[in-house]
């Protein structure tokens, strides 16, 4: 069985390397290890070093070098809107105080359907309507980046250190992504 061991972020995905697509809801896009079957029938094992969030447009790199593109599955959600940004911030505070997974955008907050929360946000003066769209809840302030492919071999040249030895070592960590990928370092 093919193994998917690396995440290639959306900006670094080369379309010519995609051999299948897998459509996943937000819970199945946050995994470490799981048997998967892509939309076209390709079966593979997701086998990442750490649990990671797979975003719409990202891809999983198989041990063959080919890619399986990630598509975010539309889900039933509640769209919360208000007449002004201050009220929306207050609603966000109340939802955050309850540790509710939420996607926050400039004009709306999206949550999974929950009649108790719908009544609460309506009581705060917000509008809450049922919709269907991909769900991308916030990951939190302490979210860690997962394994992704982007090779860096650090070449150390020999240089003088007086009469003491200074050992250099080779190390390699894997990432694959392009400029402005959001990984936290420059390319």
Mean of pLDDT values over 3-10: 97
169 vs 79, higher pLDDT: 79
List pLDDT tens digits, range 32-44. Answer: 999 999 999 999 9
List pLDDT tens digits, range 114-143. Answer: 999 999 999 999 999 999 999 999 986 655
- b/e code 64-86 from CB counts within 10 Å (16+ = b): eebbbbbbbbebebbbbbbeeee
Residue 158 has pLDDT above 90, yes or no: no
Plot region of 99 (φ>0 → left; ψ -120 to 50 → alpha; else → beta): left
**Counts for the chain of helices (H) and strands (E), in that order:** 2, 12
Q: Which domains are delineated in the chain?
A: 2-72 (2.60.260.20), 75-133 (3.30.70.790)
List pLDDT tens digits, range 15-67. Answer: 999 999 999 999 999 999 999 999 999 999 999 999 999 999 999 999 999 99
Distances (CA, A) of 170 to 36, 108, 173: 35, 48, 10
Question: What's the CA gap between 18 and 37, in Å, rounded?
Answer: 15
pLDDT number for residue 144: 53
pLDDT number for residue 107: 96
Crossing angle of helices 115-123 and 85-97, in 10° steps, is 140
Residue 24 tokens read as 């996943």
Q: Is the pTM of this model over 0.75?
A: no
């Amino acid at each position: 069985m093919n193994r998917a061991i690396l995440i290639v972020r959306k900006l670094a995905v080369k379309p010519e390397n995609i051999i299948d697509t897998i459509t996943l809801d937000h819970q199945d896009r946050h995994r470490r290890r799981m048997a998967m079957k892509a939309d076209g029938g390709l079966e593979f094992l997701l086998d990442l070093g750490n649990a990671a969030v797979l975003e719409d447009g990202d891809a999983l790199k198989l041990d063959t070098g080919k890619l399986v593109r990630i598509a975010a599955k539309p889900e039933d959600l509640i769209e919360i809107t208000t007449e002004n940004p201050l009220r929306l911030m207050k609603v966000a505070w109340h939802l955050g105080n309850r540790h509710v997974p939420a996607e926050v955008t400039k004009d709306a907050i999206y949550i999974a359907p929950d009649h108790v929360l719908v009544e609460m946000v309506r009581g705060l003066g917000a509008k809450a309507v049922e919709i269907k769209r991909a769900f991308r809840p916030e990951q939190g302030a302490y979210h860690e980046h997962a394994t992704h492919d982007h090779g860096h071999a650090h070449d150390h040249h020999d240089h003088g250190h007086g009469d003491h030895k200074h050992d250099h070592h080779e190390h390699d960590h894997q990432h694959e992504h392009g400029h402005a990928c959001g990984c936290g370092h420059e390319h």
